[in-house]
Amino acid sequence: MSKYIFLSICLLAFLSCKENKESNTESNNSLEEKHRPAYHFTPEANWMNDPNGLVYFEGEYHLFYQYYPDSTVWGPMHWGHAVSKDLVHWEHLPIALYPDSLGYIFSGSAVIDWNNSSGLGVGNEPPMIAMFTYHQMEMEKAGKLDYQYQGLAFSNDKGRTWTKYDGNPVIPNSKPIKDFRDTKVFWNEKANNWLMVLAAQDRVQFWNSPDLIHWEFLSDFGENIGAHGGVWECPDIFPLKIEGTEKEKWVLLLSINPGGPNKGSATQYFVGDFDGKTFQLDTEFKDEVEMYDGLWLDYGRDNYAGVTWSDIPKEDGRKLFIGWMSNWDYAQAVPTEKWRSAMTLPRSLHLVQYENSYRLISKPVREASLLFEKENEAEKNQTAFEIGPEGTAFFEISFKKPSSGKTELIFENTKGENLRFGYDSETDKYYVDRSSSGANDFSENFSKPIIYGPRWSKSDSIELELFLDKASLEVFADGGKTVLTNIFFPSEPFQVLKFKSNNGEIESLEIKMRQTKR
């Protein structure tokens, strides 16, 4: 190729790239982007699913994620990458991990190898280590069973560039097991070694290692325990103090698809003890798991594959979580054109005593308050509330628990579309009805049936925190004891919030609203 032709091609490529960039910015404000959240993390373009490699290092929260840069549907998986200094404002970074001859890069985790146990660090800086699942498509297509195995990559520049370990895979699939994936690794202080949990079809497996490279199988957990309506995926395990005590229990998070309490994908949890080798489910909790067919981190339909951040400084001490705000039932069909999916708001997880058992509660991270203006209190007896043109706000709402009937919050637009969140005193359940919330014909699995979540609180007052962000509503009820996260696609933003009770007045209704900062 002559130098001239080569230069012309470069110039044309540059111009078309520039044009794309500019049109991206333009279309950000156009109708095409009407469902783009104002304050939830979304990829700039194309397909995203699970959060991966959540790790904190030197003032940055890292968020890697399952990413396919060439389409708005799932495809050969990469790890996309973003960082934040405050968990709520994110900076997009270049793709961190690309597929290679060993396969696509499926879900996994990242840790800081503080003592350079892996020997992969340089100088005094500890390396950042990512452990992920390789998925070899050709092997799967050829009908083999061992097409998933575990790989490692490391970074010596704060996650900006990555090198795959040349001895990959570090855990081959020797059994073989068809679904063998989603490694979550952490330093187990008590056992003084690295611990890994991964999903193996209908159970999880525990492995340990002195150096993140050589792994030994320890035990498994979960066969015939909990919900099994689908394959187990994306586990996580960590100790948590029971609030108000010095006692600690271990919490195991486990995503399952399908088989959630409201169909499709969802995340269940187990509470028990872990002795460094085996996980023992707490007896009372086990009874409840059987009684309720699983206990769920979030009863909404759109919080999946969520896991927690590693290496949060001790002074902070929180267990921080983020989930993928979608559901495999319809994720690839939702009506967004340039990108698909958002993450939930980051949350902190807490364990509380509940009768003889426990509940895992989720609270929005306190940093979420950075997103909103000063609060705006409603006048007494006001039953319609202007949200503003963007359909984004944070609400704190409380009312006396009604003794009968249904009490509803109705988010409306001028097109006659609405999203209803309610409390049903007959069943003592919260619910979300998105059957009239806008576009819903893109998937049969989307709008029906009504989404229910049990009310675990015994208090006389219903306390709600709600985050509305154009196309999603996250409800934290009763201090996070019941959580419902759901997405929807109105043709214009919900600009008014109304209250309705089929049983007279709503007693002691208090409403505070905070508009999103621009």
Binding site for ligand FRU (CB under 6 A): 49-50, 66, 77, 106-107, 133, 181-182, 233-234, 305
- Sequential DSSP letters for 168-221: --SB---S--SSEEEEEEEEETTTTEEEEEEEETTEEEEEEESSSSS-EEEEEE
Is 50 one of the annotated active-site residues of the chain? yes
Task: Specify the residue, 132 or 354, whose C-beta has the smaller distance to ligand FRU.
Answer: 132
Task: Specify the residue, 77 or 212, whose C-beta has the smaller distance to ligand FRU.
Answer: 77
Task: Specify the residue, 68 or 423, whose C-beta has the smaller distance to ligand FRU.
Answer: 68
Q: How far apart are CB 182 and ligand FRU at their closest, in Å? A: 5
Q: How far apart are CB 380 and ligand FRU at their closest, in Å? A: 46
Q: How far apart are CB 98 and ligand FRU at their closest, in Å? A: 14
Three-state DSSP at 331 gives helix
| Strand (E) or helix (H) holding 46 | strand 46-57
CA 424/CA 328 separation, integer angstroms: 28
Q: How far apart are CB 471 and ligand FRU at their closest, in Å? A: 20
The one catalytic residue among 50, 282, 302, 424: 50
- From the centroid of its chain, how far is CA 122? 33
Structure tokens belonging to residue 367: 């940093």
Q: How far apart are CB 173 and ligand FRU at their closest, in Å? A: 14
Contact at 8 Å (CB) between 483 and 474?
yes
Residue position matching structure tokens 């969140």: 421
Structure tokens belonging to residue 249: 């229990």
Task: Specify the residue, 230 or 239, whose C-beta has the smaller distance to ligand FRU.
Answer: 230
Task: Specify the residue, 48 or 497, whose C-beta has the smaller distance to ligand FRU.
Answer: 48
Q: Is 13 left (phi over 0), alpha (psi -120 to 50) or beta?
A: alpha
Task: Specify the residue, 267 or 440, whose C-beta has the smaller distance to ligand FRU.
Answer: 267
Angle at 215 between CA 210 and CA 220, to 5 degrees: 115
CA end-to-end span of the chain: 50
Task: Specify the residue, 200 or 360, whose C-beta has the smaller distance to ligand FRU.
Answer: 200
Beta-carbon contacts of 17 under 8 Å, excluding residues fewer than 6 positions away, are none
Bridge partner list, 219: 206
Q: How far apart are CB 170 and ligand FRU at their closest, in Å? A: 16
CA 109/CA 325 separation, integer angstroms: 18
Beta-carbon contacts of 234 under 8 Å, excluding residues fewer than 6 positions away, are 50, 107, 182, 184, 199, 253, 254, 255, 267, 304, 305, 306, 307
CA 92/CA 157 separation, integer angstroms: 16
Q: How far apart are CB 68 and ligand FRU at their closest, in Å? A: 9
Strand ordering across the sheet containing 203-209: 180-188, 193-200, 203-209, 216-221
Q: How far apart are CB 438 and ligand FRU at their closest, in Å? A: 25
Task: Specify the residue, 261 or 306, whose C-beta has the smaller distance to ligand FRU.
Answer: 306
Active-site residue set: 50
